[in-house]
Copies of this chain bind each other. A is one copy, B any other.
Amino acid sequence: MTVSDNQCINTIRFLAVDAVQRANSGHPGAPLGQAPMAYVLWDRFLKHNPHDVDWLDRDRFVLSVGHLSAMLYPLLYLTGYDVSLDDIKQFRQWGSKGGGHPEYKLTPGVEATTGPLGQGFAMAVGMAMAERWVAARYNRPGHEIFNHFTYVVESDGGMMEGITSEAASLAGTLRLGKLICLYDDNDISIEGHTDISFAENVGQRFEAYGWQVISIDGMDVTAVDGAIRMAQADDSRPSLIICKTIIAYGSPNKEGSASTHGTPLGEEEICLTKEKLGWTYKETFTVPPEVLAHCRQAVERGKKQQQEWEQKLDEYRKAYPLEAEQLGKDLRKELPQGWDSELDALFQASDKPIATRKASGRVINKIAQKVPFFMGGSADLAPSVNARLEDCGDFGFQDYAGRNIHFGVREHAMGAIANGIALHGGAIPFTSTFFTFSDYMRPSVRMAALMGLQVAFIFSHDSIAVGEDGPTHEPVEQLMGFRAVPNLITIRPADATETVEAWKMAMENRESPTVLVFSRQDLPVLDRITLASASGLRRGGYVVWEAAKKPDVIIIGTGSELHLALEAGRLLQDKGIMARVVSLPSWELFDVQPADYRNEVLPPDMRARISVEAGTATGWERYVGLDGIAIGVSRFGATGKGEVVYEKYGFSAQRVVNEVLRLLHRE
């Protein structure tokens, strides 16, 4: 049974168009133009095994233009993934595998959740970096166990997003030759022709980044084939294939129109389009058997490719048993026995005060010594954040095995690239910058949380105590902002000992990203002989100190403010007022504790409660209630020496004492 490329392409087109029409929601125009390039890639080039979505050396395919999900599900179905025709029919319905935008974990074969524009592109850069990294670490002469491409499909919209520029510039700098972007250049976005907002020369721009740029008719199968070959052949540059396509191709009345971007074509127009493109089937969702048979060859092909690779891996295992064993551990993210054994001894109460960012720097270096698959970097602030792994090399084209990534001043791409590394597998990545710039990467942190990726997001300079840099560099709302994000653990340790525990949690927390928030200023190392153990952090919150008698008041602190809470507690005791001091470095960890524990720390009938945190107070009512007092920051920061700003904004033990007296009506 022979089948034409065109027949296959039309099958993809009309499965997409029918799915959108049936859902009465989605994006029908672009699949009509993009189906040829997607088909050629999947049919002739993509190295994958639809029956083993976890095969290590598969090519990665990321549909950065996530709103074209209607085109992806047909590709997955036709090539034999665990996606049925019924899933396509159930496109955009509750419980279906055909999610509105492609979702990692929901749909087999989806390598990354996409939709927010540009995220997919940057994650693909991360995947291509991870590939080079594991290849550099594990490949040996004659044993190339890692050697795959990363393909990403991008659109005009994605090309306008800053994150794409950031990631593309870094990819060029890093010479990621195995990264190939197919750019669907159809000149149409929602508001009309891209001329109105996007007159730039994208090809020239990518050449400036150091990419190979290839321009073709994206609907010409032969041209696409040739371009991908050319892209594969260039080892030292990532490649951009600019595919000119026509939105709503074949639609007699809507071809080239922006209205087809996000609105179903309509039954009648679909019929006309099918007729025009020579699609003779009356039934919707038709899959000609010869098309299915042809595309399903991907299963056999993939199985064979994987078998050959498995054989290579076997040979590798024999030649390099230690490496192979370690590789397995990397992939399972298996922390070695005793990986954290030296951490507890790092800091003593007798040490000089130390900023938690500096403590973190010491901790991650200890971790890096024990955990070879721990790697990451900074958006040009490694020295300030203390985020450099000493003696671990720099990731770059001279040394892809380096474990320090210089992301450049590109916070947004940094976040998404870390997500891409985590998705690829083989590493636990971290990122770092100042806490105030966490805003720049918030969309990527959200994606990490949504996908449930293990990424450690390090942020230092965590409050108005930053001082001299002034309000632009002083976070206020960021802590509360992250606490609002689902499936994200935010931890703000109070001292070096809590920093150790925070890092243990971040390394063990596989199901979600962890945000680690560190001080710029030095903080005393708390004496864990007189105070409760810092391991209480693992439960999110714990009683760190208590006056001799039954408490009159609970003072809750986080980070640097825990020290004020402790000092206030002692001052109050001198006045005969008994305080309990609670350290609450992570709301999320605390809130999932059993009620018994939470009620033990914060007894429901003890309502005289005060919180103190150098950030937005709004929201702290969660713990202090309507009868308590939340000491916080209700305006932006200011310039001055850190300790001056801190004091001017009302952060002192005496202030806490005064507020307690007010609360207890004893002022």
A contact set with B: CB distance below 8 Å: 23, 25-26, 66, 92-96, 98-101, 103, 113-117, 156-158, 160-166, 169-170, 172-173, 189-192, 194-205, 207-210, 262, 378, 380-384, 394, 396, 406-410, 412-413, 436-437, 439-440, 442-443, 446-447, 449-450, 467-473, 476-477, 480-481, 483-487, 587, 604, 607, 616, 618-619, 621-623, 625-627, 633-636, 638-641, 644-645, 648
A26 to chain B: which residues have CB within 8 Å? 468
Q: Which of B99, B164, B199, B481 contacts A484 (CB 8 A)?
A: B481
- Kindly report which residue of chain B lies nearest to residue A615, judged by CB atoms: B484
- Kindly report which residue of chain B lies nearest to residue A625, judged by CB atoms: B626
Assembly CA distance A644 to B648 (angstroms) = 51
By the criterion CB–CB under 8 Å, are A486 and B634 in contact? Answer: yes
Q: A95-B640, A117-B409 are in contact. List 8 more A-B contacts (CB 8 A).
A: A26-B468, A92-B640, A160-B410, A161-B410, A437-B443, A447-B472, A477-B481, A625-B625
A634 to chain B: which residues have CB within 8 Å? 486
- Kindly report which residue of chain B lies nearest to residue A452, judged by CB atoms: B636
A117 to chain B: which residues have CB within 8 Å? 409
A158 to B: closest C-beta gap in Å: 7
Copies in the complex: 2
Q: Which of B157, B170, B477 contacts A380 (CB 8 A)?
A: B157
A460 to B: closest C-beta gap in Å: 13
By the criterion CB–CB under 8 Å, are A384 and B190 in contact? Answer: yes
A413 to chain B: which residues have CB within 8 Å? 162
Q: Which of B199, B471, B619 contacts A210 (CB 8 A)?
A: B199
Assembly CA distance A627 to B628 (angstroms) = 13
Question: What are 5 A-B pairs at a CB distance below 8 A?
Answer: A94-B641, A165-B165, A439-B443, A604-B626, A619-B619
Assembly CA distance A481 to B478 (angstroms) = 8
A382 to chain B: which residues have CB within 8 Å? 190-191
By the criterion CB–CB under 8 Å, are A115 and B189 in contact? Answer: no
A544 to B: closest C-beta gap in Å: 21
Assembly CA distance A604 to B621 (angstroms) = 14
By the criterion CB–CB under 8 Å, are B191 and A383 in contact? Answer: yes
Assembly CA distance A90 to B347 (angstroms) = 37
Assembly CA distance A210 to B197 (angstroms) = 12
A172 to chain B: which residues have CB within 8 Å? 199-200
A131 to B: closest C-beta gap in Å: 19
| Of listed A100, A190, A450, residue having the most chain B CB within 10 A | A100
Assembly CA distance A477 to B162 (angstroms) = 23
Assembly CA distance A163 to B163 (angstroms) = 8
| Of listed A163, A202, A467, A485, residue having the most chain B CB within 10 A | A485
By the criterion CB–CB under 8 Å, are A472 and B116 in contact? Answer: yes
Assembly CA distance A108 to B251 (angstroms) = 59
- Kindly report which residue of chain B lies nearest to residue A196, judged by CB atoms: B406
* Given A92-B468, A480-B619, A641-B93, also A197-B209 (CB < 8 A): no
* Given A25-B468, A480-B619, A486-B477, also A161-B162 (CB < 8 A): yes
A195 to chain B: which residues have CB within 8 Å? 173
By the criterion CB–CB under 8 Å, are A406 and B197 in contact? Answer: yes
Q: Which of B92, B96, B114, B209 contacts A472 (CB 8 A)?
A: B114
A484 to chain B: which residues have CB within 8 Å? 476-477, 480-481, 484, 616, 618-619
| Of listed A190, A202, A470, A634, residue having the most chain B CB within 10 A | A470
A394 to chain B: which residues have CB within 8 Å? 196
By the criterion CB–CB under 8 Å, are A621 and B621 in contact? Answer: yes
Q: Which of B23, B100, B636 contacts A486 (CB 8 A)?
A: B636
* Given A205-B205, A472-B116, A486-B477, also A380-B191 (CB < 8 A): yes
A627 to chain B: which residues have CB within 8 Å? 625
A163 to chain B: which residues have CB within 8 Å? 162
Assembly CA distance A26 to B472 (angstroms) = 14
By the criterion CB–CB under 8 Å, are B442 and A439 in contact? Answer: yes
A485 to chain B: which residues have CB within 8 Å? 476-477
* Given A198-B408, A209-B205, also A639-B96 (CB < 8 A): yes
Assembly CA distance A116 to B166 (angstroms) = 16
A156 to chain B: which residues have CB within 8 Å? 409
A384 to chain B: which residues have CB within 8 Å? 190, 262
A66 to chain B: which residues have CB within 8 Å? 472
A381 to chain B: which residues have CB within 8 Å? 190-191
By the criterion CB–CB under 8 Å, are A618 and B483 in contact? Answer: yes
A396 to B: closest C-beta gap in Å: 6
Assembly CA distance A268 to B216 (angstroms) = 61
Assembly CA distance A95 to B203 (angstroms) = 50
- Kindly report which residue of chain B lies nearest to residue A114, judged by CB atoms: B472
* Given A382-B191, A484-B616, also A473-B100 (CB < 8 A): yes
By the criterion CB–CB under 8 Å, are A469 and B621 in contact? Answer: no
- Kindly report which residue of chain B lies nearest to residue A113, judged by CB atoms: B472
Assembly CA distance A92 to B163 (angstroms) = 32
By the criterion CB–CB under 8 Å, are A166 and B173 in contact? Answer: no
A469 to chain B: which residues have CB within 8 Å? 25, 100-101, 115
By the criterion CB–CB under 8 Å, are B210 and A644 in contact? Answer: no
Assembly CA distance A470 to B95 (angstroms) = 11
